[in-house]
Chains A and B, each alone.
Chain A
Amino acid sequence: MELFGIALTMIILFVSFGFMVGVLFGFFGMGGSFLVTPALLVMGYPARVAVGSGMAFVFGTAVIATLKHHDLGQVDYKLGGLMIVGTTVGIEVGRIGVFYLEDLGLAGGVIGVTYVLLLGSIGVFVTRNALKNDGSDDGGGGHHDAADGEIDPDAIPDIAKKIQSYRVPPMMTIAGGIQVSLWMVLGVAFATGLLSGFLGVGGGFIRMPAMFYLIGVPVPVAVGTDLFEIVFSGGIGSFLYGMEGGVDLSIVAPLLAGSALGARIGSAATSIVNEDDIKIYFGLMLLGGSIAVAFQQAGDYFAVELLNTVGFALILLSAFMVGGAVIYSTIATMRANERSTAPAAD
């Protein structure tokens, strides 16, 4: 049975996959097309359609998740507005790179290898840092209060402190009362925009940790501001790819129907789940994604279809497992909070 020229089973697959991606997207401010684009590539869609449709999907999901984070007071609009400037330039440079590589017939391979290296290295870095901090932090419950107050100096990573110590004027004040160089903000925005245009991703998987580690933005605000910024970068990217015939609505619409619900749940979960848990899940998801794409690259290189299938299964598994862990952790925290507040209530 077909609906809008696409099989019903595919629609169900897209909606359920979109739901889990939406949970991750609302929770981490990333994870949309980093999961969707490789999945579409494995399913046989051309690189241009996989990248363009992934970007359009990210755009739609970011609109929904940003609205939710806005309600929670987790969006720094000044920082987000400045990052849009640098990201826009970066996306255009990255997009030109994709079309150039596509003409050379190298786009799929280069995009895949870049994915593996980036996801793997950031995944290792974030997981290692989160595990290191896990024992030293107070390990409190939800973390949304950090969005409004002064940031705890101990919560700023050493690398961020060192980078922030280079005070190249003009300086600006961001969430948590932190002073940061405008050039650092624009530089991070350009670099992530470049990756966004090149890989067809929202850029959140590098921008969220970059905002936290390089600029020192509190995690919940980094997620909310990142999503706000993705609305613009995703919209611009979708428009540019749309002009080249790279956006397929029959893929985007069912994915978005699932992710819209998931993003609501994921966004709400950020105000409940412990911050270190967020970082560990984030790192594990990136590692899972990098292993999956590595399998696909090996499958292409050695022309073994089985490796491609394993890679695709790993992408689905990593989305469903981490998404499931987020939901489980949220429910467990809610129950624990209920138990701890119940005796004090009277």
Chain B
Amino acid sequence: MIELTALSPEVQAAVLVGAVLVEAIVLYGGYGLLERVAAPPVIKAIKST
């Protein structure tokens, strides 16, 4: 569990929202790279079977 209780409620909430936003953007970028590499062979395999 991540402890943020030392901070004010507003800052805690902003940190939480910021953490979720950063995770989302990192995941979007990371999975985007994965998609670029893995999607063409997967689509080709789907269409050819």
Taking Cβ atoms with an 8 Å cutoff, the residues of A that contact B are 4-6, 56-57, 59-61, 63-64, 67, 235, 238-245, 247-250, 252-253, 256-257, 260-261, 264, 331, 334-335, 338
Contacts and interface: CB of A to CB of B under 8 A. Distances in A.
A252 B28 CA distance: 16
B16 A264 contact: no
Given A63-B24, A63-B28, A338 B47 contact: yes
B2 A250 contact: yes
Interface residues of B, number: 26
B24 A61 contact: yes
By secondary structure, the A interface counts as helix
Given A249-B2, A331-B46, A334-B43, A240 B13 contact: yes
Interface of B: 1-2, 9-10, 12-14, 16-17, 19-21, 23-25, 27-28, 30-32, 34-35, 43, 46-47, 49
A252 B47 CA distance: 35
B47 A238 contact: no
Contacts of A60: 20-21, 23-24
Given A239-B13, A335-B47, A249 B19 contact: yes
By secondary structure, the B interface counts as helix
Contact of A260 (B24, B46, B49): B24
Contacts of B16: 56, 238-239, 242, 247, 249
Contacts of A238: 13, 16-17, 20
Nearest to B2: A249
The 6 A-B pairs of least Cβ separation, nearest first, read A242-B13, A260-B27, A5-B1, A60-B24, A243-B9, A63-B24
B17 A261 contact: no
B35 to A, nearest CB: 6
A59 B1 contact: no
A323 B19 CA distance: 27
Contact of A59 (B20, B28, B35, B47): B20
